[in-house]
Amino acid sequence: MTFLNRFAAAVVLSCLPGLAMAQAGALSFGQGTRDRAAPVEVSSDALSVDQNDNSALFTGSVVIAQGEMRLAAPRVRVVYLPDRSGIETLEASGGVTLTSGEDAAEAQDAAYNLGTGMIELRGNVLLVQGTNAISGDTVIVDTNAGTAQVTGRVKTILRPQENQ
């Protein structure tokens, strides 16, 4: 059983008003403010740089942090801006975990455009917010608006709240 399957099986779902939006395929992601000017910190086991295409390839237990957002994957390709003044995109693959505050997402692959603040998660995506979870084939996260759009075999499990 993969980590994703164990994680999904362990998530206890409760029925909250916000989950009705999740059923329609739109939900929020990350409640904190975004500081795209914050430094991007990367740690990995290895690094290859390609000066010809302005890219770097980080491999082995890659962890990338910017503010409260964290991205972890076995492989991340960083594409720099043409003038090399900053990062244009991050392309993660091989099983990706993305966290922002209490929100977390897992997918096979992810692409993060730092300029626009858009993140696309692809392949067996699981998005968890507290005790709520939703899965689909693709999730598009707008970090500026704090929203996410889920498409492709969207699934949620609703469980009534217990009276306390």
Contacts of residue 138, defined as CB under 8 A and 6 or more positions apart, other chains included, come to 120, 121, 122, 125, 150, 151, 152
Q: What is 3-156's CATH superfamily?
A: Lipopolysaccharide (LPS) transport protein A like domain (2.60.450.10)
The answer to whether residue 138 scores a pLDDT higher than 90 is yes
Mean pLDDT check: name the lowest of 8-12, 97-101, 141-145, 151-155. 8-12
Q: What is the pLDDT of residue 29?
A: 64
Where are the domains positioned within the chain? 3-156
Q: What is the pLDDT of residue 50?
A: 94
Count the residues in the chain: 164
Average pLDDT over residues 59-72: 91
Mean pLDDT check: name the lowest of 7-16, 65-74, 86-95, 147-156. 7-16
pLDDT digits (tens, 9 = 90+) for 19-37: 333 333 445 566 554 566 7
The answer to whether residue 4 scores a pLDDT higher than 50 is no
User: What predicted TM-score, i.e. pTM, was given to this entire model?
Assistant: 0.73
Name 128's bridge partners.
104, 133
- Three-state secondary structure of the chain: CCHHHHHHHHCCCCCCHHHHHHHHCEEECCCCCCCCCCCCEEECCEEEEECCCCEEEEEEEEEEEECCEEEEEEEEEEEECCCCCCEEEEEEEEEEEEEECCEEEEEEEEEEECCCCEEEEEEEEEEEECCEEEEEEEEEEECCCCEEEEECCCEECCCCCCCC
